[in-house]
Amino acid sequence: MSLPDDLCFADASSLVEAYAARRVSPVEVAEACLARIAEVQPELNPCAFLDPETTRAQARASELRWIAGEPAGPLDGVPATIKDLLLSAGWPTLRGSRAVDPGQDWDEDSPAVARLRESGAVFTAKTTTPEFGHKGVTDSPLAGITRNPWDSDRTPGGSSGGAAVAAATGLGVLNIGTDGGGSIRIPASFTGIFGLKPSFGRVPAWPASPLSSVSHVGPMTRTVRDAALMLAVLARPDARDWYAKPFPVEDFTAELEEGVRGLRIGFAPTINDEPVDDDVAAAVDGAIDVFRAEGAVVEPVTVDLPETRRIFQIIWTTGAALMAAGMSDDQRRRLDQTLMAAANIGQGFDAVTLAQAQFRRAGLAAHMAGLHRRFDVILTPTLPDTAFKAGRNHPGDPAATTWNDWTPFTYPFNLTGQPAASIPCGFDRDGLPVGLQIVGPVGADALVLRVARAFERVRPIPLPPRSAAD
């Protein structure tokens, strides 16, 4: 495999092959990423924490392992970023909040970080998040506004907006995101990268959060193969996560190139009859034509999931209320007003209402399982619109504090626990990326990756203009 002139845009497989052949060093690649961070950070603000000396030390250690012919794992020396919601030993995890004490001991890794560290990944940055990952854009009282590499006046989405920008602009080959209602797929769609929310419980997470029952940890990358390689590492077991499920250990690259010929694909141009922007609809329709040309059997399907918005609102806002309840008055005064608005709504729901919402999730999951008896995967737009102005929480109402009314196609699959990915499938009239969502049955993460890869072979994932390696 050939390497690009700008090493920070190489894929993981190419890097590992080059390290083994002694054609390039992890130190050179780390330096390329650090240089790229210095270029991107002032304008786009994707990084919440940088520690170049630790990055260089990890790269030097990786170089020595490759020289000795003893790499630590399949991703040794590959640059990676960590969303600033996940613990990382030696680095603070401030969660985009002024309410978190930066002076505490930071001596433990979350499971995803631990697995990448064990595999020899080189950490280049902690990436930005809205406060405690609570909304669909990426700005916070602590870190400020993160911007979209396709248009810096636009938001990259959230809450894994920093990770998405890092992927798009070459700050990390492997980027850890989290998704509690769309937080991997929203920014993947807005920034034109690949992002996968794995099946619930596939990737262990710890410590538990008030939203653990809908939260997923997953890869955000520039290629589908990199996501598959990353998921195989992230999905290794960790006893700390009570929610994690005993999925079998899988090689997610094994069937990656098998294509979609003969697969039964359901196409839902909307969910719950939500309106979709014309440019988005046109791009998604064009993507559907690709699958037909590749031999899949594509049929229209209606996806009606009654009460999803209400169910999600109850679960999400009561989680925010629980989070705020554990804070002092001074900490609560420091919180983003949108997080406190959600907490205040959640405080108004009683225990029976919450229990009913959790109970009704089972009906949603059963309905989707029924659809998957007819279809191997279901395709939808990732979002009904493209990226809107940075610094706002809502595309239509600048005063709005909610986000789940403009993300109607993402959070339903947090409620059902299904794997769901976003891959870019075109552009709107302003040159902003459009995302296609691929949804599979619970446990079928490899199938979702396979379908995404079939599309990527025909429509390679583009880099934003500012990220072009020349």
Q: Give the domain CATH number at 421.
A: 3.90.1300.10
Q: Is 197 a catalytic residue?
A: no
User: Considering the domain boundaries, does residue 292 fall inside one?
Assistant: yes
pLDDT higher than threshold 90 for residue 400: no
Is 440 domain-assigned?
yes
- 291-335 residue pLDDT tens: 999 999 999 999 999 999 999 999 999 999 999 999 999 999 999
Per-chain mean pLDDT for the chain: 96
The pLDDT of residue 466 is 67
Q: What is the per-residue pLDDT across 28-53, written as a single tens digit (0 to 9) for each?
A: 999 999 999 999 999 999 999 999 99
In-domain check, residue 1: no
Helix axes 308-325, 337-346, angle to 10 degrees: 110
| Structural domain span for residue 65 | 7-467
> What is the separation of C-alpha 462 from the centre of its chain, rounded to a whole number of angstroms?
17
Radius of gyration (C-alpha) of the chain in whole angstroms: 21
Residue 234 confidence (pLDDT) = 98
pLDDT band at 398 (very low <50, low <70, confident <90, very high): confident
In this structure, is residue 288 part of a structural domain?
A: yes
Asked if residue 2 is part of any domain, the answer here is: no
Q: Residue 452 has what pLDDT?
A: 99
The pLDDT, as a whole number, for residue 90 is 98
Coil, strand or helix at 305: coil
Annotated catalytic residue within 183, 199, 209, 422: 183
Catalytic residue among 14, 83, 199, 422: 83
Q: What is the mean pLDDT of residues 221-243?
A: 97
Choice among 88, 119, 140, 159 that is catalytic:
159
Confidence (pLDDT) at 1 = 65
- Known catalytic residue at 83: yes
Each residue of 59-80: pLDDT tens digit?
999 999 999 999 999 999 999 9
Nearest by Cα to 197 from 439, 434, 370, 435: 439
Give pTM, 2 decimals. Answer: 0.97
Whether the predicted pLDDT of 96 surpasses 50: yes
**Parallel, antiparallel or unpaired: strands 122-127 and 174-179:** unpaired
Segment 199-213 mean pLDDT:
96
Does 53 reside within a domain? yes
The pLDDT assigned to 5 comes to: 84
Residues 77 and 173 sit within 8 Å (Cβ to Cβ): no
User: Residue 166's pLDDT is what?
Assistant: 98
Q: Which pLDDT score is estimated for 470?
A: 38
Q: What mean pLDDT is predicted for residues 392-406?
A: 88
Residue found by looking up tokens 């629980």 in the block: 322
Active site residue 183: yes
Overall domain count for the chain: 1
- pLDDT higher than 90, residue 423: yes
Residue 350 lies in a domain: yes
In angstroms, rounded to a whole number, what is the distance separating the alpha carbons of residues 163 and 171? 9
Segments of 53-204 assigned E as strands: 79-83, 122-127, 139-140, 144-145, 174-179, 194-197
Asked whether residue 428 is assigned to any structural domain, the reply reads: yes
